[in-house]
Amino acid sequence: MTSQNTPLKQQRIAVIGYGSQGRAHALNLRDSGFNVIIGARPNGPSFQKARADGFTVTDPANAAAEADLVALLTPDMQQPQVFEEAIKPNLRPGAALLFAHGFNVHFGQIKPEAVWDIILVAPKGPGALVRREYEAGHGVPCLVAVHQDVSGQALSRAQDYAHGIGGARGGLITTSFAEETETDLFGEQAVLCGGVTELVVRGFETLVEAGYQPEVAYFECMHELKLIVDLLHEGGMAKMHQFISETAQYGDLTRGPRIVDADTKARMKTILEEIKTGQFAREWVGEYKSGNQQYQALKEADLKHPIEQVGEKLRARMPWLNPAQRAKAAADAAQKKAAATA
């Protein structure tokens, strides 16, 4: 086994979990010259996919035993069991255990012994984007944090790993497990997922209930959202104001605060407090352990909403929205062009 003071590129990294983030991290690390093995359930879909991608694949326990750094990238609710059964008995003292989200460590679902570096590298984007940006020569910004530094090299290990997945190209921000976890959950619940989707659905309902066509309501409240998000993503409020009409700007500035007002912010503060006190974590862990009945019922109701039915029909008329179909169309066009010039 290599020394804990050896640069990470000369050590062995075990990626446990080969889903969205796991696959992206593993491929990017390998392309950056790191020594990567995969830990996955034997003969499961992830095991087979990792093997097809050319990795050495073994079960999580063996992967942990062979590694200098273990990246635990299974879903949050699966991590405590994987840690107890595969990592805790096998990861050698002085090695590092890395997370891409601090949930389980911060809320005490995983309580690592004081013999390993406990670090975090959290890309600010889904796995597919982490991989796509890396392949394009760019990178998704990453948060890095140290919960426990046994080797004296914990931060360096986290930074090296972040470099390996392309995160340094987009920028690294040093944080803590608490800050990453609490802000990530808040963003998901109050803005990015819960907030935005509820705003879209309520807007759609308001227009339809007023007698407007569902298809028109869909375009106004769902479809065109991407146009605004892209402007915000590329250049913040300034670029959005630059590219929308003065009428839209005036409506934004005078009506927006009437929709999202001080009462909304007060409820956001309540949600943040529930996150900080661990109330949300306890609720979610309890729901998962009890069989996810409420979660499944809420999700099913969400997916049966009329906006989904209308959207499915409209998106079928726009095949270019599908990345696979866009890629096929581009390949077909390139083939036709090559044949025409041959």
CB 196 within 8 A of CB 169: no
Annotated binding-site residue? 188 = yes
Q: How far apart are CA 325 and CA 90, in angstroms?
A: 44
CB 13 within 8 A of CB 67: yes
Annotated binding-site residue? 18 = yes
Annotated binding-site residue? 317 = no
Annotated binding-site residue? 184 = yes
Annotated binding-site residue? 245 = yes
DSSP 229-289: HHHHHHHHHHHHHHHS-HHHHHHHHHHHHHHS-HHHHHHHHHHHHHHHTTHHHHHHHHHHH
Output Rg (C-alpha) for the chain, integer angstroms.
23
Annotated binding-site residue? 76 = no
Q: How far apart are CA 241 and CA 40, in angstroms?
A: 48
Place of tokens 């987009």: 170
Structure tokens at 83: 């840690």
Annotated binding-site residue? 156 = no
Task: List residues with catalytic annotation.
Answer: 101
Name the E strands within the chain: 12-16, 35-39, 56-58, 69-72, 96-99, 117-123, 142-148, 172-174
Annotated binding-site residue? 41 = yes
Annotated binding-site residue? 20 = yes
Query: How are strands ordered across the β-sheet holding 12-16?
Result: 56-58, 35-39, 12-16, 69-72, 96-99, 117-123, 142-148, 172-174
**Binding site for substrate: which residues?**
245
**Binding site for Mg(2+): which residues?**
184, 188, 220, 224
**Binding site: which residues?**
18-21, 41, 46, 127, 184, 188, 220, 224, 245
**Binding site for NADP(+): which residues?**
18-21, 41, 46, 127
